[in-house]
Amino acid sequence: MSIVVSVLKENRGHEKRVALDPEVTKKLVKNDFEVLIEAGAGKLALFADADYEKAGGKIVDRQTALTQGNIVVVVNEPGDDTLAALKSGQIIIGLLSALLVPDKIQRLADAKVTAISCELLPRTVSRSQAMDVLSSQASIAGYKATLLASNLYAKYFPMMITAAGTVKPAKVLVLGTGVAGLQAIGTAKRLGTVVSGYDVRAASKGEVESLGATFLTSTVANGAGTGGYARELTTEEHQAQQAELAGFIAQNDIIITTAQVPGRKPPLLVPQTSVDQAQAGTIFIDLAASDLGGNVASSQPFATVTTAQGALIVGASNLASELSNSASQLFAKNVQSIINAFMVDGAIQIDPTDEVFKGLLATIDGEIINARLRKIMNLPDLAEPKVAEGVH
């Protein structure tokens, strides 16, 4: 019996991506999977239903995809009705926001649905890199953030020497130099700007400087945390950080902020005082803007705010979706890598003791298994789980 992979159409606003593209569909079919695609799922990513059919997939309605899929793949948490339709033994893969909606994950556990929530991936394990959805999408967001800033900025980005005179290059400051930040820095540098990068993780210095940018030293002694993220700062450290950043911000024309950790409120890097002091034409691009808040005071998700002084604050909440075709291709390859990792001799065999899946899994066999998720749900630590076998 073939294992069925179902691809659902995204139903969240501002979302243009799809979880599988025709190329990965073709590879899955070649490996004896049956792939069902909800009609129109890839339209906003420029993948027609005919493209999937040519790749060997089958176009079906949403109900068929939900009921027949052994593995259901999505980009985002699909909503209560869809989650309620999933049955015991099914696997759902996507950015399920497990740390933000633990009640929904508990319902999946109660229904004995295996939930693979991609943002839980332990990113420091080397073999997990091919599965890293957050990194692939953050890279796209960082690239797009710089292009968006250049489009909104009322001056040249590079130095321009003309018969009429010389125009100075724009100054770009990137706050947070993880995957998104480094891509923003690299793109801004290629566009001819003067670029600086700031991070509380000292290890970022070499990466920033390798891109030709200036690394701004932080007074926070060691801001590195676990899982490849910066740790949460103390109140005193946060105040010191804001004070030093205020001076850096005032010296730059473009400020791109990228600091976010799944399941937590983003740190406020640009306080209201810095926003109020920003000169006309200053552009803030806040990649962390969300319903939980953002890195920039006054930022709003999916909205652009103009200050009284004429600065722009762009709540760039889902920039990866703006490059929906490329983003979907990378997302699909991440999903394929996850599926490949739990396939053994043509059967689904998820090992919850594996160092990658121990972090990646939210639920399995009716149990909340992820340690971070259990902690925020005030659940006791679990004993070492056993290997669970699935569909053959």
| Token representation of residue 341 | 């990792």
288, 295 contact by CB (below 8 A): yes
251 classed as catalytic: no
- How far, CA to CA in Å, does 34 sit from each of 27, 85, 262, 321, 373? 11, 20, 32, 27, 32
204 classed as catalytic: no
The count of other CB atoms within 10 Å of the CB of residue 206 is 9
**Residue 297 DSSP symbol:** T
Q: Residues 33, 37, 40, CA angle at the centre, nearest 5°?
A: 160
Catalytic residue among 97, 129, 242, 298: 129
Q: Residues 188, 192, 197, CA angle at the centre, nearest 5°?
A: 40
Catalytic residue among 135, 260, 324, 336: 135
- What is the longest distance spanned by two Cα atoms in the chain? 74
229 classed as catalytic: yes
User: Quick one: how far is CA 116 from the chain centroid?
Assistant: 15
Catalytic residue among 17, 62, 123, 201: 123
Catalytic residue among 52, 153, 198, 229: 229
Q: Residues 269, 210, 249, CA angle at the centre, nearest 5°?
A: 25
Which amino acid type is present at position 56?
A: G
List phi, psi (to 5°) of 60. -135, 175
- How far, CA to CA in Å, does 214 sit from each of 165, 185, 201, 248, 270? 27, 10, 15, 12, 19
What does the alpha-carbon distance between residue 247 and residue 235 come to, in Å, rounded to a whole number? 19
Catalytic residue among 17, 117, 128, 132: 132
As annotated, the active-site residues are: 123, 129, 132, 135, 229
